[in-house]
């Protein structure tokens, strides 16, 4: 049975180097002293931890819950105790830390209650999909895309072909090869579950022709099924999803599209195996097959590793001496990246750990200028123009790079592999892609900020309009009152100043912003000057001049703003709302400002004193001065307040003499009480001025009597 | 006279066509009338929307309006050279370096942070924030909503107790991306040549 195969553009044929690790059977790696499970081992939103430090967890228990659609949970790879939930180094080219759950195994390997779904064909699809999601399965080929998202076929999509990607085209890696040789039946069962979910017309298993034993094993396992094992020629990167689909079906996935657009769904061998374990055995994804290879490794081969196993420990199990370590690569030699920290854990996507000797992988030669040979364009499997993209990425002409479909680059590294000038092309593309993503995010943020700014402006305008409306109403009411009082007199001018209020408001706003901006510039300049003084650089004079200039400017801007504000406030004070209120408010504000200034000065002084600076004394003086000023303004405010209160009382008195008299009595009662208290205190302490105080008390009594009399009189009159 | 009679059909046809299209254009001008100046929208879309006022306008949109009326394009400090270049492209003007008069473009993005223990609840920063990114009320502690803050600096100056700091935005795993290689002459960092060894 020969099946027509298509070819894809480009591709390279690097040395395979697979024999080193493919000839020994899969070994169990064992349990390290501690496991570090990152909460994000997939593409998408990180999972959310649901266990606490000190909790005892069982093997397969959920450690972190999926949060969102493109997210999967993480499980405990063994039973033990959670000793920490904290940021730890992870496998990431940024060498940054990420949140991890650290588990100390107890060695009991005690499972949580697990039960497979059994005969899944009598269940409905959402139940099985949920089971796969709960098992935390993410694409195990390298990218780690949550598998369940791919499996949830939309009702309007018809899947014609289901492809099992067993190509494993990257040199050195043999994890899928070994898995197929040893566990072909399980893989086929897993694939059958996937097939039941997506209902394809045909099921193809694509394997490269350099794995004859795996092909044989898979052929035997699929002998009495509708699946077909298709052998594809060895060429890198035939294991790329889009490339494999093109080879098997002749269909090309359009730029920016997904395979489901052309009726194809593609899954990895390891993923199919994990799906079988999840659905039939009820075991979540807690271990994977990882190839450990490279000339530094005495025990090359494939290991079944618990997720979260530290890489350094694992390499020790394979016999690597730390002193031999030249460099450690995670993933294959074409697409992998170097890791410098031995504490990083193995995660769901770790298909290979490569530990080459310096002779095997010498340091790359220095980058040379591009000679425009065009080799990269000949090998690009995505049919892009790598050298154009290189120029654009280098010159940061990102929109042009996007126009040349940078997003379709699969970062396979074929272009870098053939480049005679040793240009790290993929790194340029990765940089440009990241930069484009950042720009898009910033654009989104800017749009959001614009919305908020406009909403705020609209709100302010509305408030202003509302204020203006009220003011006009008041003015009208006042005018009407006056007109009633003096009908002969012509109506008072209705609206004081009709002018456009929002206009003056924007003007004010503008001035305020300008004042703030100038102030900031002045402060910046001051800072620069201070720094220059400290470092003793030359152009002090110029800087000083600049500072002086800016100070003058800032002062001018502030004055302008304050003048404008006063002007704006003046007409508002005109209407007969509360004439006595304004000066008090001004005093209040002044007092608050003085107090703030005093506090600031105090802080500055304290800082200076702590540092033992020379100008602490001057600062102290200034602080004292400010304190006095603050107190003075406070007193002024208090006086004003008292005056205002009195005025109000007097007003009330005019309106209601009875009440005024009552208040008068109460006041004198308080005075009397105070005086007698003072007298008592003086008597107790045997102070001298007792006579004087006695007189005072008597006087107060007298006054109280008088007030009471007035009150009585008034009450009688009233009655 | 003969000339006119000979070409009468042509003259009439042309006049009819002219009138017909004239009417069409007139109708289109009324029906599809564009309110406002669309160039302002386009300019506004290129500005970083920090609303910091360092250009001398109270917000990005007013500056966009200013540019549309012929103002210089080199006053946007947070946008820096990239924004000036984009504006020059859009408006067909020449690139001009940033006007130092308005300040220098910061190297990292900043975000405001209120030292909450020192806040006296005066609401002054609340009124200064152009995007309503500060939460608080009179005599209550205020705090900055980090995701909404544009790092415009306008809240720093009004604070009477100087409790607002501008902090650089920290890089996370989500915002990290590869840096460009160092260029010609340097060794490529992480790429690995595959070769056959005996």
Provide the β-strand partners of residue A163.
A204, A266
Domain shared by B156 and B126, yes or no: yes
> Residue B187 is nearest to which of A366, A524, A592, comparing CB atoms?
A366
Domain membership of residue B83 (yes or no) is: yes
Closest Cα in chain A, distance from residue B30 (Å): 29
Separation between Cα atoms, residue A387 and residue A95, nearest integer Å: 29
Residue A276 has pLDDT above 90, yes or no: yes
**Tokens (6 digits) for A459:** 């709100």
Chain A residues close to B191, C-beta within 8 Å: 364, 413, 416, 424, 426-427
Domain membership of residue B119 (yes or no) is: yes
Q: Convert the pLDDT of each residue in A654-678 to its tens digit.
A: 666 677 777 778 888 888 888 888 7
**For A227-236, A309-318, A421-430, B31-40, which range has the lowest pLDDT when averaged over its residues?**
B31-40
**Tokens (6 digits) for A68:** 């969102």
Domain shared by B52 and B82, yes or no: yes
Domain coverage including residue B144: 110-168
A416 touches chain B (CB under 8 A): yes
Q: What is the average pLDDT value for chain A, to the nearest integer?
A: 84
Domain shared by B94 and B47, yes or no: yes
Per-residue confidence (pLDDT) for residue A688, from 0 to 100: 60
Residue A571 has pLDDT above 50, yes or no: no
- Asked if the Cβ–Cβ distance from B194 to A446 is below 8 Å, we say no
Q: Domain of B57: which CATH number? A: 1.10.15.40
Per-residue confidence (pLDDT) for residue A506, from 0 to 100: 65
Per-residue confidence (pLDDT) for residue A163, from 0 to 100: 94
Per-residue confidence (pLDDT) for residue A655, from 0 to 100: 63
Closest Cα in chain B, distance from residue A62 (Å): 23
Least CA distance to B103: which residue of chain A?
A521
Residue A492 has pLDDT above 50, yes or no: no
Residue A718 has pLDDT above 80, yes or no: no
Per-residue confidence (pLDDT) for residue A536, from 0 to 100: 63
Split into its structural domains, chain B has a count of 2
**For A461-465, A476-480, A617-621, B11-15, which range has the lowest pLDDT when averaged over its residues?**
A617-621
Domain membership of residue B9 (yes or no) is: no
Chain A residues close to B56, C-beta within 8 Å: 514, 517
Per-residue confidence (pLDDT) for residue B198, from 0 to 100: 39
Q: What is the DSSP track for A618-644? A: HHHHHHHHHHHHHHHHHHHHHHHHHHH
Per-residue confidence (pLDDT) for residue B189, from 0 to 100: 57
Task: Grade residue A51 by pLDDT with cuts at 50, 70 and 90.
Answer: very high
Complex-level ipTM:
0.80
Q: Name the residue with higher pLDDT: A255 or A588.
A: A255
Q: Domain of B142: which CATH number? A: 3.30.70.20
Per-residue confidence (pLDDT) for residue A568, from 0 to 100: 57
| Cβ contact A37:A346 at 8 Å | no
> Residue A509 is nearest to which of B58, B161, B192, comparing CB atoms?
B58
| Cβ contact A65:A47 at 8 Å | yes
Domain membership of residue B190 (yes or no) is: no
Please identify among residues 90-149 of chain A the ones whose CB lies closer than 8 Å to any CB of chain B.
Answer: 92-94, 96, 98
Strands (E), chain B: 110-114, 134-135, 143-144, 164-168
Quick one: CA dihedral A442, A448, A449, A451, positive or negative?
positive
- Asked if the Cβ–Cβ distance from B58 to A510 is below 8 Å, we say yes
Per-residue confidence (pLDDT) for residue A222, from 0 to 100: 92
Per-residue confidence (pLDDT) for residue B13, from 0 to 100: 94
Task: Grade residue A493 by pLDDT with cuts at 50, 70 and 90.
Answer: very low
**For A243-252, A468-477, A654-663, which range has the lowest pLDDT when averaged over its residues?**
A654-663
- Asked if the Cβ–Cβ distance from B178 to A93 is below 8 Å, we say yes
Per-residue confidence (pLDDT) for residue A502, from 0 to 100: 53
SS3 call for A441: helix
H helices of B51-128, in order, are: 60-68, 80-91, 124-128
Q: Convert the pLDDT of each residue in B99-130 to its tens digit.
A: 888 888 887 888 999 999 999 999 999 999 99
| Cβ contact A286:A35 at 8 Å | no
Domain membership of residue B55 (yes or no) is: yes
> Residue A431 is nearest to which of B171, B177, B190, comparing CB atoms?
B177
Task: Grade residue A580 by pLDDT with cuts at 50, 70 and 90.
Answer: very low
Environment class of A359 (CB within 10 Å of its CB; exposed 0-12, middle 13-18, buried 19+): exposed
Per-residue confidence (pLDDT) for residue A498, from 0 to 100: 43
Separation between Cα atoms, residue A272 and residue A194, nearest integer Å: 8
> Residue A438 is nearest to which of B128, B177, B179, comparing CB atoms?
B177
Residues sharing a CB contact under 8 Å with residue B55, sequence separation 6 or more, in sequence order: B63, B66, B75, B76, B77, B102
Annotation: CATH topology of A19-354: Rossmann fold (3.40.50)
Per-residue confidence (pLDDT) for residue A578, from 0 to 100: 42
Average pLDDT over residues B16-24: 97
Average pLDDT over residues A229-258: 91
Domain membership of residue B197 (yes or no) is: no
Chain A residues close to B121, C-beta within 8 Å: none
Per-residue confidence (pLDDT) for residue A572, from 0 to 100: 44
Average pLDDT over residues A166-172: 91
Task: Grade residue A80 by pLDDT with cuts at 50, 70 and 90.
Answer: very high
Task: Grade residue A499 by pLDDT with cuts at 50, 70 and 90.
Answer: very low
Per-residue confidence (pLDDT) for residue B145, from 0 to 100: 93
Average pLDDT over residues B22-48: 88
Provide the β-strand partners of residue A543.
none
Domain ranges of chain A: 19-354, 364-473, 656-718
**For A242-251, A464-473, A541-550, which range has the lowest pLDDT when averaged over its residues?**
A541-550
Domain membership of residue B149 (yes or no) is: yes
**Full-model pTM:** 0.70
State CA A191 to chain mean position distance: 38
**Tokens (6 digits) for B172:** 């996370």
Domain shared by B67 and B114, yes or no: no
Specify the residue for token string 């193809």: A204
Strands (E), A121-214: 161-166, 202-208
B183 phi and psi angles, rounded to 5 deg: 105, -175
Average pLDDT over residues B152-171: 90
Q: Name the residue with higher pLDDT: A544 or A360.
A: A360
Chain A residues close to B195, C-beta within 8 Å: 15
Per-residue confidence (pLDDT) for residue A646, from 0 to 100: 76
Q: Name the residue with higher pLDDT: B186 or A400.
A: A400
């Amino acid at each position: 049975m020969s099946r027509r195969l298509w070819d894809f553009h480009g591709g390279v044929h690097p040395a395979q180097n697979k024999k080193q690790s493919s000839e020994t059977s899969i070994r169990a790696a064992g349990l390290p002293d501690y496991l570090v499970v990152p909460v994000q081992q997939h593409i998408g939103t990180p999972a959310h931890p649901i266990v606490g430090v000190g909790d005892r967890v069982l093997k397969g228990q959920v450690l972190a819950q999926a949060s969102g659609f493109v997210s999967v949970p993480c499980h405990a790879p063994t039973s033990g105790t959670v000793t920490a939930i904290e940021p730890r180094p992870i496998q990431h080219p940024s060498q940054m830390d990420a949140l991890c759950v650290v588990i100390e195994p107890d060695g009991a390997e005690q499972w949580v209650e697990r039960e497979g779904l059994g005969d899944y064909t009598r269940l409905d699809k959402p139940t099985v999909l949920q089971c796969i999601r709960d098992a935390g399965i993410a694409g195990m080929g390298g990218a780690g895309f949550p598998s369940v998202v791919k499996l949830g076929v939309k009702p309007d999509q018809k899947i014609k072909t289901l492809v099992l990607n067993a190509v494993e085209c990257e040199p050195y890696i043999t994890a899928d090869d070994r898995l197929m040789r040893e566990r072909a039946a399980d893989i086929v069962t897993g694939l059958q579950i996937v097939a039941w979910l997506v209902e394809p017309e045909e099921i193809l298993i694509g394997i490269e022709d350099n794995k004859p034993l795996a092909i044989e094993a898979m052929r035997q396992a699929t002998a009495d099924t509708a699946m077909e094992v298709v052998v594809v020629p060895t060429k890198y990167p035939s294991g790329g999803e889009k490339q494999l689909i093109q080879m098997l079906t002749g269909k090309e996935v359009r730029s920016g599209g997904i395979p489901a657009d052309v009726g194809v769904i593609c899954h990895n061998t390891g993923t199919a195996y994990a799906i079988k374990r999840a659905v039939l055995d009820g075991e979540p994804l807690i271990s994977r097959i990882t190839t450990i290879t490279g000339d530094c490794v005495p025990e090359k081969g494939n290991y079944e590793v618990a997720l979260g196993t530290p890489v350094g420990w694992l390499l020790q199990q394979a016999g690597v001496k730390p002193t031999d370590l030249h460099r450690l690569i995670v993933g294959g030699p074409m697409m992998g990246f170097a890791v410098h920290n031995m504490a990083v854990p193995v995660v769901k996507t770790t298909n290979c750990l490569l530990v080459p000797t310096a002779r095997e992988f010498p340091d790359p030669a220095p980058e040379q200028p591009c000679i425009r040979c065009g080799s990269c364009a000949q090998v690009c499997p995505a049919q892009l123009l790598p050298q154009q993209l290189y120029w654009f990425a280098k010159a940061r002409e990102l929109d042009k790079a996007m126009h040349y479909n940078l997003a379709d680059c699969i970062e396979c590294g074929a272009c870098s592999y053939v480049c005679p000038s040793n240009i790290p092309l993929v790194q340029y593309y990765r940089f440009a892609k990241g930069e484009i993503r950042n720009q898009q995010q910033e654009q989104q943020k800017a749009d959001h900020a614009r919305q908020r700014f406009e909403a705020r402006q609209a709100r302010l305008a509305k408030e202003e309009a509302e204020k203006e409306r009220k003011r006009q109403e008041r003015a009208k009411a006042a005018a009407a009152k006056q007109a009633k009082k003096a009908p002969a007199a012509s109506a008072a001018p209705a609206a004081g100043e009709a002018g456009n209020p929002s206009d003056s408001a924007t003007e004010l706003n503008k001035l305020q912003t300008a004042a703030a901006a100038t102030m900031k510039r002045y402060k910046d300049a001051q800072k620069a000057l201070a720094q220059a003084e400290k470092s003793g650089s030359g152009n002090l004079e110029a800087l000083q001049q600049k500072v002086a200039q800016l100070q003058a400017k800032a002062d001018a801007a502030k004055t302008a703003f304050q003048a404008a504000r006063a002007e704006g406030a003046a007409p508002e004070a005109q209407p007969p709302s509360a004439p006595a209120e304004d000066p008090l408010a001004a005093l209040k504000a002044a007092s608050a400002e003085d107090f703030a200034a005093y506090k600031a000065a105090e802080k500055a002084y304290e800082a200076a004193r702590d540092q033992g600076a020379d100008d602490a004394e001057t600062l102290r003086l200034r602080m004292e001065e400010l304190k006095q000023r603050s107190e003075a303004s406070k007193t002024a405010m208090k006086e004003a307040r008292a005056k205002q209160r009195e005025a109000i009382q007097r007003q009330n008195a005019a309106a209601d003499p009875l009440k005024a008299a009552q208040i008068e009595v109460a006041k004198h009662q308080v005075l009397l009480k105070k005086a007698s208290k003072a007298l008592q205190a003086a008597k107790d302490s045997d102070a001298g001025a007792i006579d004087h105080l006695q007189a005072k008390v008597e006087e107060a009594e007298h006054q109280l009597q008088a007030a009471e009399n007035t009150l009585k009189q008034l009450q009688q009159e009233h009655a | 006279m003969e000339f006119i009679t000979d070409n009468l059909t042509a003259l009439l046809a042309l006049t009819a066509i002219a009138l017909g299209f004239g009417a069409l254009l007139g109708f289109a001008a009324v029906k599809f009338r564009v309110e406002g100046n669309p160039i302002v929208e386009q300019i506004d879309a290129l500005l970083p929307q920090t609303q910091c006022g360092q250009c001398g306008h109270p917000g990005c949109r007013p500056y966009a309006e200013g540019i549309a009326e012929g103002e210089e394009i080199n006053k946007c400090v947070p946008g820096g050279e990239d924004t000036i270049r984009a504006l020059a492209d859009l408006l067909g003007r020449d690139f001009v370096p940033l006007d130092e008069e308005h300040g220098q473009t910061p190297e990292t993005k900043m975000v405001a942070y209120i030292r909450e223990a020192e806040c006296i609840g005066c609401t002054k920063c609340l009124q200064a924030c152009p995007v309503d990114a500060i939460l608080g009320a009179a005599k209550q502690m205020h705090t900055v909503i980090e995701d909404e803050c544009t790092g415009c600096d306008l809240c720093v100056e009004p604070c009477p107790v100087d409790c607002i700091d501008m902090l650089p935005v920290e890089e996370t795993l989500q915002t990290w991306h590869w840096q460009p290689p160092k260029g010609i002459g340097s060794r490529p960092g992480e790429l690995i040549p595959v070769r056959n060894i005996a």
